[in-house]
Amino acid sequence: MNLKQKIKDFAERVKTLQGDPNFIAAGMAIGIFVGITPTFPFHTALAIVLAYIMRASKAAAAIGVWIGNPFTMPFLYLGSYKAGIFILGTKIPFDIKYTTFTELTKLGFDATVALMTGGIVIGILPAIASYFITRRLVKKLRSRRRLRMIRQEETAP
């Protein structure tokens, strides 16, 4: 599947989400944030719980976690690790082969804390950006749909 088709599929999923644009955007932001953190395989469950607590779209949160997928995860984990050791001022050996939270705990407490710290810090800006992008996208898609329905009503006999 090429990138253009993936974007179309994503837009179709967003179109079908129910609720206020802010509700959907908050869910997406939560999903993106959790998807960036090194909490795999708990991404979806964690995002849905957080969306429930924060009264955001659970469906959008479940979609958003897919930013952390098998292709992006090595980069996200390495970035989380580097950010975490920079923030904490520690030096911990890291092997990129650890791709799940349970495997990361085998590295030890300090490495896990560094990865989580870095993941949380790295996840903030994309989460904020995704909130505004998703809210605008939902409003735009719904506006187009309303306009299309009005045009159809006008042309109906």
Is position 76 within any domain? yes
Is position 143 within any domain? yes
Is position 32 within any domain? yes
pLDDT at position 148, please?
A: 80
Token representation of residue 33: 């944030």
Which H or E element spans position 33?
A: helix 21-36
23 pLDDT above the threshold of 90: yes
| Single-letter amino acid, residue 155 | T
Domains held by the chain: number? 1
| Single-letter amino acid, residue 137 | L
In total, the chain counts a number of residues equal to 157
Number of H helices, E strands in the chain: 7, 0
Is position 53 within any domain? yes
Mean pLDDT, residues 124-146 taken together: 90
Is position 1 within any domain? no
Is position 95 within any domain? yes
81 pLDDT above the threshold of 90: no
Closest CA to 115 of 93, 85, 95: 85
Query: pLDDT tens, 96-116?
Result: 666 566 666 677 777 788 888
How sure is the predictor about 95, in pLDDT bands with cuts at 50, 70 and 90?
A: low
**What whole-number distance in Å separates Cα of residue 35 and Cα of residue 27?**
12
Give the SS3 label for residue 126.
helix
In which domain, by residue range, is 105 found? 6-155
